[in-house]
Structure 1
Amino acid sequence: MYQLHTPELRVAARRIARRIDSAAPQGSPGRRRLLRSAVPAAMAVLAFGTGLPRSTAHAATAPGGGHLPDDPFTLGVASGDPGPASVLLWTRLAPRPYEPGSGMPRVPISVGWEIAHDERFRRVARRGTAVAHPELDHSLHIEAHGLDHDRVHYYRFRAGPWISPTGRTRTAPARTARIRELRLAAVSCQAYHEGYYTAHRHLAGEDLDVVFHLGDYLYEYPVDAAGGARAYTDRTLPAHFNRETVTLEDYRLRYGLYRSDPDLQAAHAAHAFVLTWDDHETENNYAGGTPEDGGPTDEFLLRRAAAYRAYWENQPLRPPQRPDGPDMRLYRRLRFGRLAQFDVLDTRQYRSDQLYGDGWQRPGPELEDPARTMTGAPQERWLLDGWRQSAALWNVVPQQVVLARRRDAPVDAYRLSMDAWDGCPAARRRFLAGAEAAGVRNLMVLTGDVHVSYGFDLKEDWDDPDSRTVGTEIAATSISSGRNGADRPANHADLTAANPHIRLLHGRRGYARITLGERQARVDYRAVAAVTVPGAPVTTAASLVTEEGNPGFHPA
Structure 2
Amino acid sequence: MAFGLTSPAQPSHEILTLSDYRTRHAQYKQDADLRQLHLRYPFITIWDDHESADNSYHDGAANHTEGVEGKWVDRKAYSQQAYDEWMPIRLPEPGNRNRIFRTLKFGQTAEWILLDTRLYDHDVQAATPVNPLDPSTANADRHMIGDEQRAFLINNMRQSTSQWKLIGNQVVFHQWIIKPFDFPAHTSSMSRCLNGATVCCASVRTRPPASTGPSVPFWNGAALNTCLPLSMY
TM-score (norm 1): 0.35
Asked if 2 retains the 8 angstrom alpha-carbon contact of 1:372 and 1:426, the reply is: no
Task: Give deviations 1:371-399, integer Å, cap 9, x for gaps.
Answer: 21111110111101111112222111111
- State the alpha-carbon separation in 2 of the partners of residues 192 and 403 from structure 1: 25
2:134 is aligned with 1:362 = no
Q: Percent identity?
A: 28
Q: Which residue of structure 1 aligns with residue 90 of structure 2?
A: 318
Q: 2:154 aligns with which of 357, 375, 384?
A: 384
Q: Which residue of structure 2 aligns with residue 374 of structure 1?
A: 144
- State the alpha-carbon separation in 2 of the partners of residues 426 and 418 from structure 1: 18
Query: 1:406 offset after TM fit, Å?
Result: 3.5
2:36 is aligned with 1:266 = yes
2:78 is aligned with 1:306 = yes
Q: 1:352 aligns with which of 104, 123, 134?
A: 123
Query: 1:369 offset after TM fit, Å?
Result: 3.0
Asked if 2 retains the 8 angstrom alpha-carbon contact of 1:289 and 1:300, the reply is: yes
Q: Which residue of structure 1 aligns with residue 50 of structure 2?
A: 280
Query: 1:362 offset after TM fit, Å?
Result: 1.6
Taking structure 1 as reference, are residues 294 and 248 closer, same or farther at Cα in structure 2, changes over 3 Å only? Answer: closer
Taking structure 1 as reference, are residues 385 and 261 closer, same or farther at Cα in structure 2, changes over 3 Å only? Answer: same
Taking structure 1 as reference, are residues 368 and 331 closer, same or farther at Cα in structure 2, changes over 3 Å only? Answer: same
- State the alpha-carbon separation in 2 of the partners of residues 411 and 390 from structure 1: 43
TM-score (norm 2): 0.80
- State the alpha-carbon separation in 1 of the partners of residues 115 and 157 from structure 2: 13
Q: Which residue of structure 1 aligns with residue 3 of structure 2?
A: 191
Aligned residues: 214
2:227 is aligned with 1:448 = no
Q: SS of 2:57's equivalent? A: coil
- State the alpha-carbon separation in 1 of the partners of residues 101 and 123 from structure 2: 17
- State the alpha-carbon separation in 2 of the partners of residues 323 and 282 from structure 1: 19
Q: Which residue of structure 2 aligns with residue 123 of structure 1?
A: none
- State the alpha-carbon separation in 2 of the partners of residues 323 and 367 from structure 1: 36
- State the alpha-carbon separation in 1 of the partners of residues 13 and 64 from structure 2: 20
Taking structure 1 as reference, are residues 312 and 257 closer, same or farther at Cα in structure 2, changes over 3 Å only? Answer: same
- State the alpha-carbon separation in 1 of the partners of residues 157 and 211 from structure 2: 16
RMSD between aligned residues: 2.8
Asked if 1 retains the 8 angstrom alpha-carbon contact of 2:175 and 2:207, the reply is: no
Q: Which residue of structure 1 aligns with residue 186 of structure 2?
A: none
Taking structure 1 as reference, are residues 246 and 423 closer, same or farther at Cα in structure 2, changes over 3 Å only? Answer: farther
Q: Which residue of structure 1 aligns with residue 185 of structure 2?
A: none
Q: Looking at secondary structure, tell me which structure has more helix per residue.
A: 2
- State the alpha-carbon separation in 2 of the partners of residues 340 and 303 from structure 1: 36
- State the alpha-carbon separation in 2 of the partners of residues 263 and 279 from structure 1: 23
Q: Which residue of structure 1 aligns with residue 190 of structure 2?
A: none
Q: SS of 2:142's equivalent? A: coil
Asked if 2 retains the 8 angstrom alpha-carbon contact of 1:372 and 1:424, the reply is: no
- State the alpha-carbon separation in 1 of the partners of residues 24 and 210 from structure 2: 37
How is 1:36-185 mapped onto 2 (pairs within 5 angstroms)?
none
Taking structure 1 as reference, are residues 399 and 319 closer, same or farther at Cα in structure 2, changes over 3 Å only? Answer: closer
Amino acid across the alignment from 2:78: A
Q: SS of 1:445's equivalent? A: strand
Amino acid across the alignment from 1:252: R
2:205 is aligned with 1:433 = no
Q: Which residue of structure 1 aligns with residue 166 of structure 2?
A: 396
- State the alpha-carbon separation in 1 of the partners of residues 136 and 178 from structure 2: 20
Taking structure 1 as reference, are residues 333 and 424 closer, same or farther at Cα in structure 2, changes over 3 Å only? Answer: farther
Query: 1:312 offset after TM fit, Å?
Result: 0.4
Where in structure 1 are there 5+ consecutive unaligned residues? 1-189, 196-226, 229-236, 450-556
Q: SS of 1:422's equivalent? A: coil
Taking structure 1 as reference, are residues 435 and 252 closer, same or farther at Cα in structure 2, changes over 3 Å only? Answer: same
Q: SS of 1:360's equivalent? A: coil
Query: 1:268 offset after TM fit, Å?
Result: 1.2
Q: Which residue of structure 2 aligns with residue 7 of structure 1?
A: none
Taking structure 1 as reference, are residues 330 and 434 closer, same or farther at Cα in structure 2, changes over 3 Å only? Answer: same
Taking structure 1 as reference, are residues 299 and 425 closer, same or farther at Cα in structure 2, changes over 3 Å only? Answer: farther
Asked if 1 retains the 8 angstrom alpha-carbon contact of 2:92 and 2:102, the reply is: no
- State the alpha-carbon separation in 2 of the partners of residues 376 and 191 from structure 1: 30
Asked if 2 retains the 8 angstrom alpha-carbon contact of 1:341 and 1:396, the reply is: yes
Query: 1:415 offset after TM fit, Å?
Result: 4.3
Task: Give deviations 1:318-376, integer Å, cap 9, x for gaps.
Answer: 1436554xx61110011111121211111001111112x2x222223333333211111
Amino acid across the alignment from 1:346: D
Where in structure 2 are there 5+ consecutive unaligned residues? 183-196
Query: 1:192 offset after TM fit, Å?
Result: 3.2
Asked if 1 retains the 8 angstrom alpha-carbon contact of 2:175 and 2:208, the reply is: no
Query: 1:440 offset after TM fit, Å?
Result: 2.0
Q: SS of 1:329's equivalent? A: coil
Amino acid across the alignment from 1:442: T
Taking structure 1 as reference, are residues 373 and 269 closer, same or farther at Cα in structure 2, changes over 3 Å only? Answer: same
Amino acid across the alignment from 2:218: G
